[in-house]
């Protein structure tokens, strides 16, 4: 099994790219809440990282916690909630990150795929405001099989990228934690649906709560079974 690593970023940096940006989104499948995207780029451009332990300076080599956390960054779905929360600040400290959010209303208006692309573009805009990327040679590594449409920057779509590309893995964690925190806040407002547990995904508990109480404000009216309930007037 190949671990998430910096090999591709390293290769692209040596080809002349100044910024190698990983981007991922979470929240395409849920029945409620937003879709959240994150764009992430590693802060330390002074060294190349295909075999990062041998290239780090003495201070970092001696910081076992740094090595441990960097190694732990992988596909957010393979980490526990506690692990993701523990890595959130570490990633913020060691990567430039930008986050983009599209709410349930935008998803219903545009469809989930287009809303996901819009969230990615918003994440990139946020990232650009934190980095001196103007006129720099950049490339975006997008998790999945589709590039972001109508974007002038170089791109590469990578199926399973969140599992093997460190920058995409970092983006997946930031996006996941950000969205999970939002859904926990929504639980305080709409406690009947259990958003703090399933984060809006269509679990048995969630679907049963939908049929018992009808949809709430943040449910996606274009998604089944919410769509059918809305047509029946249970809104």
pTM greater than 0.75 (yes/no): yes
Res 64: pLDDT: 80
The pLDDT tens digits for 13-63 are 999 999 999 999 999 999 999 999 999 999 875 444 334 444 445 445 457
Phi-psi region of 111 (alpha: psi -120 to 50; beta: other; left: phi over 0): left
Low pLDDT (below 70) residues in the chain:
1, 45-62, 234-235
Domain-wise residue ranges, the chain: 7-184
Please compute, for residue 46, the number of CA atoms within 13 A of its CA located in the half-sphere on the CB side: 5
Q: Domain 7-184 adopts which CATH fold?
A: Nucleotidyltransferase; domain 5 (3.30.420)
Asked if 158 and 143 count as a contact pair (C-beta separation under 8 A), the reply is yes
Asked if 70 and 63 count as a contact pair (C-beta separation under 8 A), the reply is no
Cα-Cα-Cα-Cα dihedral sign, residues 2, 177, 174, 123: positive
> In sequence order, which ranges of 30-111 are alpha helices (DSSP H)?
52-55, 58-61, 64-72, 81-94, 104-110
Asked if 140 and 153 count as a contact pair (C-beta separation under 8 A), the reply is yes
Cα-Cα-Cα-Cα dihedral sign, residues 198, 95, 40, 165: negative
């Amino acid at each position: 099994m190949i671990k998430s690593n910096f090999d591709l970023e390293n290769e692209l940096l040596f080809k002349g790219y100044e910024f190698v940006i990983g981007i991922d989104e979470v929240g395409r499948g849920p029945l409620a809440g937003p879709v959240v995207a994150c764009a992430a780029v590693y802060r330390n451009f002074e060294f190349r990282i295909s075999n990062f332990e041998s290239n780090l300076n003495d201070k970092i080599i001696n910081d076992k916690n740094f090595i441990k956390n960097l190694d732990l960054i992988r596909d957010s779905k393979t980490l526990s909630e506690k692990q993701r929360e523990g890595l959130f600040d570490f990633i913020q400290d060691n990567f430039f990150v930008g986050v983009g959010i599209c709410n349930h209303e935008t998803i219903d208006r545009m469809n989930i795929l287009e809303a996901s692309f819009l969230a990615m573009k918003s994440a990139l805009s946020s990232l650009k405001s934190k980095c001196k990327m103007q006129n720099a040679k950049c490339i975006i590594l997008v998790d999945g099989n589709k590039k972001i449409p109508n974007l002038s920057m170089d791109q590469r779509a990578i199926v399973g990228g969140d599992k093997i590309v460190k920058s995409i893995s970092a983006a997946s964690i930031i996006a996941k934690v950000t969205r999970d925190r939002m859904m926990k806040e929504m639980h305080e407002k709409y406690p009947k649906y259990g958003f703090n547990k399933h984060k809006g995904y269509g679990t048995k508990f969630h679907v049963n709560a939908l049929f018992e109480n009808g949809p709430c404000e943040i449910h996606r009216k274009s998604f089944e079974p919410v769509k059918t309930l809305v047509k029946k007037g249970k809104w």
